[in-house]
Amino acid sequence: MSVTQPRGFTAAGVESGLKASGGRDIAFVVNTGPSQAAAAVFTSNRAKANPVIWSQQAIADGILRAVVLNSGGANCYTGSRGFQVTHATAELAASLLGASASDILICSTGLIGDQLDFDKVSAGLTAAHGSLSDDGGLDAALAIMTTDTHPKQSVVSRDGWSIGGMAKGAGMLAPGLATMLVVITTDADLPSAVLDATLREATRVTFDRLDSDGCMSTNDTVALLASAASGISPAADDFGAALTELCADLAAQLQQDAEGAAHDITIEVVSAASEDDAVEVGRAVARNNLFKAAVFGNDPNWGRVLAAVGTTAAAFDPYDIDVTINGIRVAHAGEPDQSRELVDLTGRAVHLVIDLNAGESTATIRTNDLTHDYVHENSAYSS
């Protein structure tokens, strides 16, 4: 159970033949109301796929009836013909539901530059509509997988209302979202303005701080749909906290399933002069291939950490930074501190703390190591 855990939602996931590897590839998530308030955030990449161009218009009025998602093709750089496929998909979904096409969000994932076969999409969506059910969440989560090794679902329950979510994404995980499609549902009764504000804040500190490989996708979408079926209107702060908890859980699942990764690296930047500084420093380290390759080799190479930190414009004295790896402070005041031999990197979890000694702010960026399997998956698999 995920998107169908909250009341007021049905879902389905079917096989339409879009995905060369076979398996479910069309997901349909429908809000049965009574409310259809919604919010969504998208990739900040200027190279946007056709479904993103469509969906940014569809969400403008804060109302969504349903989301249609497909794997097996990103429908990006497919020109006006590709846009017509997105549009026709929304029209078909609207007609099946007796809704307006402008209330249908479309998400796609897969190879850039290939046309989607609308005949397959059409047949798949019609079949998905026929199999919509209030326990279809898992099927929908399965249908959006690409190189994911398992479906990602999460539920956060509160007194009388809940939030459910599903996510896909295993590579191209980067700031401003990842090749990541996320649909979140709730039966809380909240207006779209509150959904929008809480979704932006939750993604800012979760998905936006997951930076697996520094590569930003053309298709990233996180949608939040609220049915109001619980009849409960939680305080915005309470809802926001629950939403952030759910997004953090889905982001952790994405990190743990990142393509080819052998380590999950948590980079905690502390005592920064500002949160922006902390994020900038964390991201610079998260994108440093030499550091990431060292972690793969279980090498606590703190010199590569400081070399990456030194490329940023954040406020700090480069010779007064502490670096601690899995509890061992290996660099202090511009010199080696405890022996790197004491650092144990054999486990999957790596906790790097960078103390800038420059202020009171903090931020945590999550990334992965750079491995042979990453290179293999991304050189052998055209995506």
If binding is defined by CB under 8 A, does position 341 make contact with a second copy? no
Least separation in angstroms between CB 216 and a second copy: 5
Q: Which is nearer to a second copy, 163 or 261 (CB)?
A: 261
179, 203, 244, 371: the catalytic one is 179
If binding is defined by CB under 8 A, does position 20 make contact with a second copy? no
> Binding to a second copy (CB under 8 A): which residues in 168-197?
171-172
Q: Which is nearer to a second copy, 229 or 305 (CB)?
A: 305
Least separation in angstroms between CB 53 and a second copy: 10
Compute the 3-state secondary structure of the chain and give helix, strand, coil in percent, each to the nearest 5.
35, 25, 40
Point out the annotated binding site for substrate. 146, 168, 179, 259, 378, 383
If binding is defined by CB under 8 A, does position 362 make contact with a second copy? no
Determine whether 241 is exposed, middle or buried from the number of CB atoms within 10 Å of its CB (0-12, 13-18, 19+): middle
Q: How many residues bind a second copy (CB under 8 A)?
A: 61
Least separation in angstroms between CB 142 and a second copy: 24
Q: How many degrees, rounded to 5, is the angle at CA 307 between CA 306 and CA 308?
A: 90
Q: How far apart are CA 114 and CA 111, in angstroms?
A: 6
H-only helix segments in the chain: 50-58, 79-97, 118-130, 137-143, 192-205, 236-256, 275-286, 289-296, 302-309, 372-380
If binding is defined by CB under 8 A, does position 378 make contact with a second copy? yes
Q: List phi, psi (to 5°) of 68.
A: -110, 130
Q: How far apart are CA 120 and CA 110, in angstroms?
A: 15
Q: Which is nearer to a second copy, 17 or 303 (CB)?
A: 303
Question: In this structure, what token pair is assigned to residue 173?
Answer: 């995980």
What string of DSSP letters covers 84-148?
HHHHHHHHHHHHHHT--GGGEEEEEBS-TTPPP-HHHHHHHHHHHHHT-BTT-HHHHHHHT-SS-
With CB under 8 A as the contact rule, which of the stretches 12-20, 21-29, 200-208, 304-312 interacts with a second copy? 304-312
Binding-site member from 223, 226, 281, 331 for a second copy (CB under 8 A) = 331
Point out the annotated binding site. 146, 168, 179, 259, 378, 383
The two counts, helices (H) then strands (E), for the chain are 10, 15
Least separation in angstroms between CB 315 and a second copy: 11
Q: How far apart are CA 155 and CA 164, in angstroms?
A: 4
Binding-site member from 52, 76, 140, 250 for a second copy (CB under 8 A) = 76
With CB under 8 A as the contact rule, which of the stretches 34-42, 58-66, 120-128, 370-378 interacts with a second copy? 370-378
> If we measure between CA atoms, which residue out of 11, 24, 366 comes closest to residue 164?
11
Q: Are strands 66-70 and 104-108 parallel, antiparallel or unpaired?
A: parallel
Q: Which is nearer to a second copy, 76 or 243 (CB)?
A: 76
Binding-site member from 1, 88, 94, 112 for a second copy (CB under 8 A) = 112
If binding is defined by CB under 8 A, does position 347 make contact with a second copy? no
> Binding to a second copy (CB under 8 A): which residues in 210-249?
213-218
Binding-site member from 24, 48, 168, 366 for a second copy (CB under 8 A) = 48
3-state secondary structure of 336: strand
Q: Determine how many CB atoms are found less than 10 A away from the CB of residue 298.
A: 15
Q: How far apart are CA 273 and CA 271, in angstroms?
A: 7
324 is catalytic: no
Residues recognised as catalytic? 179
- Would you tell me which residues interact with a second copy (CB under 8 A)? 45-48, 74, 76-79, 81-82, 111-114, 171-172, 213-218, 287-290, 293-294, 296-297, 299, 301-304, 306-312, 318-319, 331, 333-336, 340, 370-372, 374-376, 378-380, 382
